[in-house]
Amino acid sequence: MVISLKDVAERAGVSVKTVSNVVNGYRHVTPATRQRVQQVIDELGYRPNLTARHLRKGRTGIIALALPELGNPYFAELADAVISYAAGLDYIVLLDHTNGRRDQEVLFAQGFRARLIDGLILSPIELENEDLLARGHDAPLVLLGEREYEAPYDHIAIDNVTAARTATQHLLDLGRRRVAFIGARHGRARQTAHLRLRGWREVMAESAALEGDGHGLVATTDGYTREDGAQAMARLLDSGASPDAAFCYNDMVAIGAMRTLTERGLRVPEDVAVIGFDNIEDGRYCSASLTTIAPHKQGIAQAAVDALLARLDGGEEARHAEPRHVRPGFALVRRESTLGRP
């Protein structure tokens, strides 16, 4: 049996309008009446018709989230944070992935499934500035990640240079000097890798730990998987680089690198300390739990959803306001892969 506002109103002895005011959180209801109505709502198990509520505002109640890959635990955890936060605001999240391909990112940015969604949160990799400037759809768009665009859209990203500096400094503070960077990439689109490499290079140069340009301690990867990390560490060791620490682009690369170190008979962290990035759950359960940089995923998710809904709820003025650039925080999570076992 579907419980309606009228059923609640009759049981509570109030008008349908009063029940509606309670459900929608309007202030002009006395505390005693609000308590009585809420008690009846709980007893009857009434659930608001969210679809009707959104339709009255000319909306679908659905926002889209497009990520490069869902097999990456970081993006899976970020998606979970976005979905959970949006649900608390009575929004459903339509989730899809782009495989980091420009054509797919353009498709989403240009308003793919526009009739189904109220707005879009997009984490691009290959998207170019001209793709955004040519965007014809007026649904709000929020960008995630480190690519900088000269386009009028809100952008949510942590400070990767500062985070990389924090990771590298942690290793130097432990007395390490031959700190490798694993996960460098070629190409302008891989902005995140460039920023993290820059942070590593700055701290190494400032500490005088960097010999020459440090090229021998930088390992490029084709991707950011465990296999990529394992292969990159193997190449470093085979080259004679002999790192005593490694700052890895992400946790999956770090996990792969630690596997190679173990296979080569090297101990983590006694011989080589390792730090990752992203704070995925897998890192906590490695044989040496992984020290990592932990982006504030909840902060990223909340900032993205809030920015999108602010554009929706603020009318025409909000839709055309200056873009906002939000920098959620991060933390260094110290674990066994750099500190050893207690």
Mean pLDDT by 10 residues, the chain (342 residues): 76 82 74 86 73 54 91 93 90 90 87 75 89 78 86 92 97 95 78 92 85 75 94 95 95 98 97 97 95 96 93 71 90 97 85
CATH of the domain spanning 5-48: 1.10.260.40
Residue-range domain boundaries for the chain? 5-48, 56-158+297-329, 160-295
Give me the pLDDT at residue 16, please: 77
Q: CA 142, CA 324: separation in Å to the nearest integer?
A: 10
What are the φ/ψ torsions at residue 156 (nearest 5 degrees)? Answer: -115, 120
Distance separating the N- and C-terminal Cα atoms of the chain = 58
Do the two domains 5-48 and 56-158+297-329 of this chain adopt the same fold? Answer: no
Looking at domain 56-158+297-329, does it have CATH number 3.40.50.2300? yes
Show the beta-strand stretches assigned E in 130-216: 141-144, 154-156, 179-184
DSSP 321: S
Superfamily of domain 160-295, CATH level 4 = Response regulator (3.40.50.2300)
Give me the pLDDT at residue 2, please: 67
Handedness of CA 230, 81, 319, 134 (dihedral sign): positive
Give me the pLDDT at residue 149, please: 83
